[in-house]
Amino acid sequence: MELPLPIRGVFRGYSVDKTPAEFSDDMNNIRPIDSLEKRLRLGKRPGLKKWSTTQIGAAEQPIVALTVVSSVV
Residue 35 domain-assigned (yes or no) = yes
Residue 66 domain-assigned (yes or no) = no
Residue 62 domain-assigned (yes or no) = no
Q: Nearest Cα to 43, choosing from 72, 3, 6, 4?
A: 6
Domain count, the chain: 1
Taking the C-alpha atoms of residue 29 and residue 46, their distance in angstroms, rounded to an integer, is: 9
Mean of the per-residue pLDDT values of the chain: 79
At residue 56, does pLDDT exceed 80?
Answer: no
The answer to whether 11 touches 24, Cβ cutoff 8 Å, is yes
Mean pLDDT to the nearest integer, 13-26: 81
The answer to whether 34 touches 19, Cβ cutoff 8 Å, is no
User: 13 falls in which pLDDT band (50, 70, 90)?
Assistant: confident
Residue 26 domain-assigned (yes or no) = yes
Q: Is the whole-model pTM more than 0.75?
A: no
Residue 33 domain-assigned (yes or no) = yes
